[in-house]
Structure formats: structure tokens, C-alpha cells
């Protein structure tokens, strides 16, 4: 869900893409995004006009060229997508395949780099196809030991999980606006640390060329017609994050994940990843035996106006992907979901102790 204050920002009168007031707002956003990414001084943080996939492609397009050696850590659907985009830009990609539902062991990265080396290591921080959180800080250290840059997909972690570009040594990262950041879809925050800026390549794409985008965002040269309304919404969402405090926002997402987990466990429902590898923002809930997961999702939507994601790839039909992030990361949303999922399970004859999930969640909130 989008907060009312961000929705109100969308309704403001539209300014031109080179209007001084809009450009001033974009300058503020660059500072806000650098703080949100915890990026070092000298970084270029901004928002690509496009969805999260445009952020993915923008980082790849400016760092990968023909022959670039890429080690792509694939722990799910979105790690595979990142590897595919690198291949499209001419990279020699080596895929480090990890079991879906498990995080990557940094030692495997070290061993892979010792065998063949790499110019760039790519990893998804929050793999939303499996609910897994990868140990990016440790992987980044391994990559740097081998002389490689580290490129991080932070689509479902930025604003909801600790993410520290400077402290962890992340060279480039991309995200989206509609998840933990709390704005509508349509823009993609990205950040290039000085280490990545120093190793950028000639970009094949005009639209995603970092130099041209920097000309627009910093030097006021026309490049494309940015959506003023989406700028307003993102600026307001980033302002709300500043007001809440980033550490407090991370803690809220962790706390609400634990509340949801307590409720699910009381209902006999488990999560796919083991404890310690789970996302707070996207919960991969195992579908109980004998339950038709697609019917349950349809019933959640039509009866309770709640939408959850289906499993992807080898997990199709086996999990529900339950997002609690941004404005939706709240005890109220969790209690509504637990009551609703109990109802749709009962429709299929799957019995759970009445009210067990909500009771356990309330106890976790009070605890």
C-alpha cells in the first residue's frame, strides 16, 4: 500500500522537466538517496525513470561491456534475470547456482573466484522469489579480495533491511520505489560509488547512459522528460523515511516479520528459508499439503481484498510470497492477513486452531 501523504503528493500540479522548482526537488532527492543507500561521498545516487528493471539495466549497461568477466550468484528468479542482462551486454558470465530457498555461502564465492576470477560479482540481496537474504557484506569482502566490483540488487531490501554501501564496500546497487521505499512504481533508485564510477564503460544505451543522466540530474542538460508526479511521490516517500529514521525503519520491518512468523507458526505454517536466511520484507510461506495455492490466492483477493504472490520457477504451487514492506509493514496488516489466510484455508478443509495465528501475533506484539 502507498501512504496517504505520498498519494496526496501525486496530486500536486505538474511542473516541466526543467522547471527550477522540480530540479531543486531532484537535488534534494539525490542527497536523500545517497543517505538511504548509505553511499560514500563522491557517489552518484539518483533515480532512473522506469521500474526496478530499468535500474538493473542501467547499472549493468554502464559497468559491463563485451568480454567483461561476471560471476553471477543465482539463488532464485531475480538472480537469473541479473545474469541474463549481463549476458545481453556481452559479459562472459559464470553462474554460481545455489539451491532455491537457501542463501549463498561466501566460501563458494571465494572458491569460484579462485578458479577463474571476475571483474564484477553480481548478487541479489533480497531474493523475492524465495524469501532469502544473501550475506552481501561478506560476499562484497570476498569480491574485493579478488579485485572485483560488487553489484547488488537491492530491489526489496532498500529501506527495509540494513544496506550499507560505504561500510560494506558495495560498488553499485539498484532498487525500485514501490516496495520498502513506499512510493508508486515507476522510478528506480540507483547508486554508483566512486569505485564504480572509475570503472564505468561506454554505454550502449542512450536512455541509460550514466554520463547523459548525470548531465540532466546535475548539469541541467535535457535528456528525457521525467515524470514530475513520480518525482513528487518519491520525494515525499524519502522525506517520510528521513522522519522515521532509517534504523527505526529497519527495526520496524524486522519486528513485524517476527510478528507474522509467530502467527504463521501457531497455525502450523512454515517459511521456506531457514532462520537466519529469511527476508523481513518478503515471506515465502509454505503451502500446506492438500491446499490448492492458486485457489487460496484467489479467495484472499476476492473475499478479503488481499493480494499475495505465487511461487516462481521450481517453487510454483509450493509457496505464497507475502510482502510486508513500507507502509504495509504494520501490525494491523499482519493481523488482517492471518485472519484471512485462516479463513481461506478453512474453505479448502484445512483446519487450524481457531484464532491461533492472530492470538500468537498479538502476544508477539505485546511481548
Range of the domain at 57: 4-244
Residues 237 and 323 in one domain: no
Q: Which residues contact residue 367 at a Cβ distance below 8 angstroms, ignoring those fewer than 6 apart?
A: none
Q: What is the mean pLDDT of residues 230-256?
A: 98
Please give the average per-residue pLDDT across 161-187, as a whole number: 98
pLDDT, the chain, mean: 97
Query: Using CA atoms, how far apart are residues 140 and 73, in angstroms rounded to an integer?
Result: 12
The phi-psi region of residue 50 (left if phi > 0; otherwise alpha if psi is between -120 and 50; otherwise beta) is left
Give the pLDDT band of residue 297 (cuts 50, 70, 90): very high
Residues 76 and 209 in one domain: yes
Element of type H or E holding 49: strand 44-49
> In the structure, what pLDDT confidence band is assigned to residue 329 with cuts at 50, 70 and 90?
very high
For residue range 96-110, list pLDDT tens digits in order: 999 999 999 999 999
User: 299 φ, ψ to 5°?
Assistant: -65, -40
C-alpha distances out from residue 59 to 44, 187, 264, 307, Å:
12, 14, 37, 31
pLDDT single digits (tens) 256-289: 999 999 999 999 999 999 999 999 999 999 999 9
Could you give the count of Cα atoms lying within 13 Å of 146 in the half-sphere of its Cβ? Answer: 26
CATH number at residue 112: 3.40.640.10
For residues 168 and 145, state if they share a domain. Answer: yes
Instruction: Note whether 259 and 227 are same-domain residues.
Output: no
What is the rounded distance in angstroms from the CA atom of residue 38 to the CA atom of residue 181? Answer: 14
Is the domain of 165 the same as that of 22? yes
Domains in the chain, number: 2
What local confidence, expressed as pLDDT, does residue 173 receive? Answer: 98
Write the DSSP string, 282-305: EEEEEPPTT--HHHHHHHHHHHH-
Question: In the chain, what percentage of residues exceed pLDDT 70?
Answer: 100
Mean pLDDT of 159-164: 98
CATH of the domain at 272: 3.90.1150.10
Residues 180 and 288 in one domain: no
Statement to judge: residues 234 and 151 lie in one domain: yes
pLDDT band at 204 (very low <50, low <70, confident <90, very high): very high
Q: Which of 190, 209, 244 is the last residue of a domain?
A: 244
Are 147 and 20 found together in one domain? yes
Q: Are residues 22 and 154 in the same domain?
A: yes
- Last residue within a domain, chosen from 244, 268, 300: 244
Predicted pLDDT of residue 367: 80
> How many helices (H) does the chain have, and how many strands (E)?
14, 12
Overall average pLDDT of the 288-308 stretch = 96
CB 106 within 8 A of CB 112: no
Same domain for 237 and 91: yes
Average the pLDDT over 108-118 and give the result: 97
Residues 229 and 255 in one domain: no
Domain end, chosen from 216, 244, 272, is at 244
Q: Are residues 219 and 266 in the same domain?
A: no
Amino acid at each position: 500500500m502507498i501512504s496517504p501523504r505520498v498519494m496526496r503528493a501525486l496530486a500536486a500540479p505538474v511542473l516541466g522537466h526543467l522547471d527550477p522548482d522540480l530540479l531543486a526537488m531532484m537535488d534534494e532527492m539525490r542527497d536523500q538517496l545517497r543517505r538511504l543507500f548509505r553511499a560514500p561521498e563522491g557517489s552518484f545516487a539518483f533515480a532512473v525513470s522506469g521500474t526496478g528493471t530499468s535500474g538493473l539495466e542501467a547499472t549493468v549497461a554502464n559497468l559491463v561491456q563485451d568480454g567483461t568477466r561476471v560471476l553471477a550468484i543465482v539463488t532464485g528468479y531475480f538472480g537469473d534475470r541479473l545474469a541474463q542482462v549481463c549476458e545481453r551486454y556481452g559479459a562472459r558470465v559464470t553462474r554460481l547456482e545455489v539451491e532455491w530457498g537457501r542463501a549463498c555461502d561466501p566460501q563458494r564465492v571465494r572458491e569460484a573466484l579462485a578458479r577463474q576470477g571476475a571483474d564484477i560479482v553480481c548478487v541479489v540481496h533480497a531474493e523475492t522469489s524465495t524469501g532469502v537474504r544473501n550475506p552481501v557484506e561478506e560476499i562484497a569482502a570476498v569480491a574485493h579480495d579478488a579485485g572485483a566490483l560488487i553489484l547488488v540488487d537491492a530491489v526489496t531490501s532498500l529501506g527495509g533491511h540494513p544496506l550499507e554501501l560505504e561500510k560494506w564496500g558495495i560498488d553499485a546497487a539498484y532498487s525500485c520505489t514501490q516496495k520498502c521505499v513506499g512510493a508508486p512504481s515507476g522510478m528506480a533508485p540507483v547508486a554508483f560509488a566512486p569505485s564504480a564510477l572509475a570503472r564505468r564503460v561506454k554505454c550502449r544505451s542512450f536512455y541509460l547512459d550514466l554520463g547523459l543522466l548525470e548531465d540532466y540530474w546535475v548539469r541541467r542538460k535535457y535528456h528525457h522528460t521525467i515524470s514530475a508526479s513520480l518525482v513528487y511521490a518519491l520525494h515525499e516517500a524519502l522525506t517520510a523515511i528521513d522522519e522515521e529514521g532509517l534504523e527505526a525503519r529497519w527495526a520496524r520491518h524486522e519486528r513485524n516479520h517476527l510478528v507474522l512468523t509467530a502467527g504463521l507458526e501457531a497455525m502450523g505454517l512454515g517459511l521456506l528459508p531457514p532462520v537466519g536466511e529469511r527476508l523481513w520484507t518478503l515471506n515465502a510461506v509454505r503451502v500446506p499439503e492438500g491446499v490448492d495455492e492458486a485457489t487460496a490466492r484467489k479467495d484472499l483477493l476476492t473475499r478479503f481484498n488481499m493480494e499475495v504472490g505465487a511461487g516462481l520457477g521450481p517453487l510454483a504451487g509450493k509457496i505464497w510470497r507475502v510482502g510486508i514492506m513500507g507502509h504495509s509493514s504494520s501490525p494491523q496488516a499482519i493481523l488482517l492477513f492471518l485472519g484471512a489466510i485462516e479463513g481461506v484455508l478453512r474453505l479448502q478443509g484445512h483446519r487450524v486452531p481457531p484464532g491461533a495465528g492472530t492470538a500468537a501475533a498479538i502476544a508477539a506484539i505485546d511481548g
